[in-house]
Homo-oligomer: A and B are copies of this chain.
């Protein structure tokens, strides 16, 4: 969840399946030999040409039907420079009030965005668990 100095959030519009055309934060599968944080930073580079500093743990989402665990971190853009990587149609720095909630690609991303904003309003940095048992169905853990 990379933000810039104005608190805007980096979102990417997906150029690849699943959910082409929908918005997400940079994300992807880990590679062998990297940490969670390194993988998150690499995805920011690949999908949004963004150089980020990874911060605190934000969300852990068990995506049961996909046999995945999504782990999301707060992050900060080191320099205000982004661009669409090969897997993105476009990238944008989005203020909280302009988040395209109807067009967010994944329920786990929506969950992370909501908690990011809630925590920021409360001036805390917590981490949040949830599970998704079918596409879009979130239940608390």
**Measuring CB to CB, which residues of chain A are less than 8 angstroms from any residue of chain B?**
30, 32-37, 57, 60, 62, 64, 67, 69, 127, 129, 131, 141
Contacts and interface: CB of A to CB of B under 8 A. Distances in A.
Nearest to A131: B35
A67 B32 contact: yes
A68 to B, nearest CB: 10
A138 B57 CA distance: 20
B127 A35 contact: no
B36 A69 contact: yes
A34 B64 CA distance: 6
A30 B63 CA distance: 13
A137 B33 CA distance: 14
Contact of A57 (B36, B67, B127): B127
